[in-house]
Amino acid sequence: MQVAGQFRELIEAGTWPVGAKIPGEVTLAGQLGVSRGTVREALRALSLTGLLEPRIGDGTYVRATNEITGVLVRDELSALTTVLDTRAGLEAAAARLAAVHATEADVEALAAALRDRTAAHDTGDRDGYIAADTAFHRGVVRASGNPLLVRLYDAVAEVVTASIEDTAVLPEDPRVRDSHDVLLRCVRGGDRDGAAAASYHLIESVKETITR
């Protein structure tokens, strides 16, 4: 559907950001020069995929930027522990591969992300801390050299980032910081088993901090 495609492009481009209320049917119909019925069908189609969320008596809001995240949120599969368990599997697999395939540039990018993370933590910059932590974890996946893993990870990037935001506590538990350092050392040293174990332990340490 052409109109649905136009709306999807607005979402993907960030013109309609996640959480934002989009214009009403009358406004959209006027802007596009189509009927309200056409707009309504396009909105319904995107609501079924989870990209949009209609709220009775309020309007329609952007729920996600891609269908995978939309389904996770729509079907309530984005619970924090569920996301963390999924991350543990994906990131441990990526860490094992990164220990073999990471380039010098990959390792330096990971080290830089950890330096930024530490600096933000020590100055109480929570937003900077979250951004650096997100960059580090995606960097490990990117360093795996596996394009499918990268695409899978990026497909759930919104729920991953949300899980980092939800678990970011300053000051952090020392075990969480240590786990990041161990993971980098294992990737740098080519220790496949150590990298996978460190990545898994990292997520487990995060889970332990939130359950306390």
Domain spans of the chain, in order of start? 2-72, 78-211
Going by C-beta distance under 8 Å and a sequence separation of 6 or more, which residues neighbour residue 59? 21, 22, 24
For residue 177, which of 188, 168, 187, 186 has the smallest C-alpha distance?
Answer: 168
The Cα–Cα gap between 98 and 187 comes to 6
Q: How many CB atoms lie within 10 A of CB 206?
A: 25
116-172 confidence digits (pLDDT tens) = 999 999 999 999 999 999 999 999 999 999 999 998 888 788 888 888 988 898 999
Can you tell me the mean pLDDT for 57-77?
Answer: 72
Going by C-beta distance under 8 Å and a sequence separation of 6 or more, which residues neighbour residue 177? 118, 121
- Residue 61, classed as helix, strand or coil, is strand
22-46 confidence digits (pLDDT tens) = 999 999 989 888 999 899 888 888 8
For residue 157, which of 175, 138, 171 has the smallest C-alpha distance?
Answer: 138
Q: Residue 19 has which token pair? A: 């959480």
pTM above 0.75, yes or no: no
CB burial readout 80-100, b (16+ within 10 A) else e: eeebbebbbebbbbbbbbbbe
Q: Residue 39 has which token pair? A: 């707009």
State the first-to-last Cα distance of the chain, in angstroms, to the nearest integer.
48
Determine the CATH number of domain 78-211: 1.20.120.530
Give the pLDDT band (50/70/90) at residue 81: confident
Taking 60 as the threshold, does the pLDDT of residue 76 lie above it?
A: no
- The DSSP 8-state label assigned to residue 21 in this structure reads B
What's the CATH class of domain 2-72? mainly alpha
Provide the pLDDT for residue 70.
63
Provide the pLDDT for residue 71.
60
- Do the beta carbons of residue 51 and residue 13 sit within 8 Å? no
Give the pLDDT band (50/70/90) at residue 57: confident
Q: Residue 70 has which token pair? A: 């939309």
- The whole-chain average pLDDT of the chain stands at 88
